[in-house]
Amino acid sequence: MHLFVTGGAGFIGSAFIRLALAEDPTCRITNFDALTYAGNLDNLKGVDPQRHRFLRGDITDRHAVTAALEVPADVIVNFAAESHVDRSIQCSDTFLRTNILGTQVLLDAARLKGIQRFIQISTDEVLGSLPEDADVLSTEDAAYAPNNPYAASKAAAEHLVRAAQRTFGLDAVITRCGNNFGPCQFPEKLIPLILSNAILDQPIPVYGDGRQVRDWIYVDDHCRAILRALAAGTAGEIYHIGARNERQNLDVVAAILKALGKPESLIRFVTDRPGHDRRYALDPTKIERDLGWRACETWESGLLKTIRWYNDNGNWLARARSGSYREYYDRQYGGTTETSS
């Protein structure tokens, strides 16, 4: 099995590559990644170079994608994306290019090269916000309702995948997941941001009242579910991947501060994110029932692994927080007003 993985130097893509190679000794991977600010080859340290070929390239570059697929691949797994909501609010250009145009380039290449299966890695955000007070979960047939440019670009990508399947008969599967956490996540996202700021005794910005709910999953559980969808998913289907682990942001912050022995006085309530979705929660019944997948990690065991990794990888963190991260951080948090929530 030869997998063509895009975005494999990022957080989830690199975890997927480690897992796919470990689970199947016959698996070989081409990892096609532009190495944006979020891509980091250190995430792939220790991966067998005999079975992992790294190619630096941009998924919006049709020629580069076609050339990379000269070595025949069986499956494309598309992780490559601009992935951070706050950056998409600052400027959406790269989101539209990579997440929409890039997906179409890959779909065209998949068709022309006779790829057997296309897996699109998507997100609960395409469905927008759920009510907080009702015990409802999002199922695969819920209506699209993206509320920020990142979510809208990922919804557009899903439409293109569906169109390629319906129009050209491409074998495509879409997986949607909630908020991942684990090693190697860039510290712009909530959990590594809390961890890296708390380790350095720096303030932790909490948007609005901090009562927004996210559905957290340990990254390896997400990757195991993708492998199941790849091997046994039905073409044209969408699968929701969730660990039934809803948490309010403030509870996530408190749990991490407690585990690190840091005071809650580090918390700063700041101006809310515009268009901030209150609650995401996916119903994983279909993937549990049809593909026999279940999350293995609990919130506690996953968090412990994650905290250990960030504690043990100070150099990785220092590198991620250097350079353009400082500019981003100042742009994102410099002008925010502290509130009293």
Q: Which residue in the set 31, 88, 179, 306 belongs to the binding site for ligand NAD (CB under 6 A)?
A: 179
Among ligand TYD, ligand NAD, none, what does residue 35 contact (CB within 5–8 Å per kind)?
Answer: ligand NAD
CB of 134 to ligand NAD, least distance (A): 23
What would the x/- binding string for ligand NAD be over residues 40 to 69, using CB under 6 A?
Answer: ------------------xxx---------
| Residue 218: HSE in the Cβ half-sphere, 13 Å Cα cutoff | 17
Please identify which of the residues 33, 125, 188, 221 carries the catalytic annotation. Answer: 125
Question: 125 an active-site residue?
Answer: yes
Contact between 206 and ligand TYD per CB under 6 A: yes
Question: 297 an active-site residue?
Answer: no
At residue 244, φ and ψ (nearest 5 deg) are 50, 50
Please identify which of the residues 33, 58, 82, 150 carries the catalytic annotation. Answer: 150
Question: 201 an active-site residue?
Answer: no
Q: Where are the alpha helices (DSSP H) in the chain?
A: 11-23, 62-68, 85-90, 93-95, 103-112, 149-168, 190-199, 219-232, 249-260, 285-291, 299-312, 314-320, 324-333
Give the residue at shortest CB distance from ligand NAD.
10
Q: How many residues bind ligand TYD (CB under 6 A)?
A: 12
The C-alpha angle 209, 214, 216, rounded to 5 degrees, equals 140
What would the x/- binding string for ligand TYD be over residues 152 to 171, using CB under 6 A?
Answer: --------------------
Contact between 52 and ligand TYD per CB under 6 A: no
Q: Which helix (H) or strand (E) holds 215?
A: strand 213-218
Query: What distance in Å separates the CA atoms of residue 269 and residue 251, rounded to the nearest whole number?
Result: 14
Contact between 193 and ligand TYD per CB under 6 A: yes
Decide if 212 contacts 276 (C-beta within 8 A).
yes
Q: Is the dihedral of CA 166, 175, 226, 38 positive or negative?
A: positive
Query: What distance in Å separates the CA atoms of residue 219 and residue 16, rounded to the nearest whole number?
Result: 8
- Piece in contact with ligand TYD (CB under 6 A), picked from 31-39, 138-146, 202-210, 322-330: 202-210
Residues taking part in catalysis = 124-125, 150
Where along the sequence are the contacts to ligand NAD (CB under 6 A)? 6-7, 9-13, 33-36, 38-39, 58-60, 79-83, 98, 102, 121, 123, 154, 177, 179-180, 186
